[in-house]
Amino acid sequence: MEHRNLGNSGLKVSLVGLGCNNFGGRTDLEGSRRVVHKALDLGITLFDTADIYADRGGSETALGNILGERRKDIVLATKFGMPMDEAGRLRGGSRRYIIGAVEASLKRLKTGWIDLYQIHRPDPATPVEETLRALDDLIHQGKVRYIGCSNFAAWQAVDAQWTSAHLGLNRFIACQDELSLLVRDIERELIPAMKSHGLGLLPYFPLACGMLTGKYQRGAAQPEGARLSYMPELAGRYLTEANWAKLDRLRAFCDARGKKLVELAFSWLAAQPLVAGVIAGATRPEQVEQNVAAASWALGAGDLAEIDRLTGTA
């Protein structure tokens, strides 16, 4: 397993990470345990979750019950900021909320520290200075090692980095955002901003909610239990004519080289300069094996230029 530094920090993560959003929810405790153990066996060190996953706390609780002594062997990343109650009061990036949220996550995860603590989305109701000062305090207290952001616009990420530098606070080291062969929006503004400010990238939805696995076929019934089969809002976003056309072109690219679509999806992300670890979910150990194996295709400059053309970004 290849390991890379996350941004300009000294934190190293595995190129293929494990997204833990299914743990404690779609995947029960024993199923989650099998997936975690397979990931550990294959050299995965980046485990990413969030307090909101699996009905608010289920994923963190499952990980806390599973890891045990292996906690020290991994980079444990979690997120805060999404609503943790029906009324929407337990949310955001205020100092008051963050101090309580981190303690709750530490308790569920059964750990004394979080390696990467990420704000899940911007909080327009709280000045970024307040959020950053609270996170800086957590680092000085030893409860958090590094901090990051997720789903920030380019200007918000830059504003946070400038604020930290201006005030002498610990800075975000990474952004966690959606990036795949079918969703490349962040390349326009966010990635150039990240490059300028030393931020690493942890892409999520690397397979575009399964579109890049080949499980979905144009005009065919959706697979039972697949994410786009039970989440119509996502289905409407991904199952578009433009994406089907891109998939046809990408499949032809892979067929001509004796490769699979999933190999292209992971290996293309691995070839992106700012990508440190790809967040890939799994509900079965076999999927973890597939994800790890898929990242081994070394794409050349000519391949990457052709992929840009095929996905309409060249």
Question: What's the DSSP call for residue 247?
Answer: H
Phi first, then psi: give them for residue 220, nearest 5 degrees.
-100, 160
**CA distances (Å), 113 to each of 50, 99, 289, in order?**
15, 13, 28
Q: Helices (DSSP H) in 239-300: which residue ranges?
A: 241-255, 261-270, 285-294
Token pair 């109650």 is found at 85
Q: Is 216 a catalytic residue?
A: no
**Would you call 262 exposed, middle or buried from its count of C-beta atoms within 10 A (0-12, 13-18, 19+)?**
buried
Task: Kindly calculate the radius of gyration of the chain based on its CA atoms and give it in whole angstroms.
Answer: 19
**Which one of 53, 146, 204, 216 is the catalytic residue?**
53
Whats the size of the chain, residue-wise? Answer: 314
Strand partners, 281: 19
Report the Cα–Cα distance between both ends of the chain, in Å, rounded.
Answer: 31
**Would you call 289 exposed, middle or buried from its count of C-beta atoms within 10 A (0-12, 13-18, 19+)?**
middle
- Where in the sequence numbering do the catalytic residues fall? 53
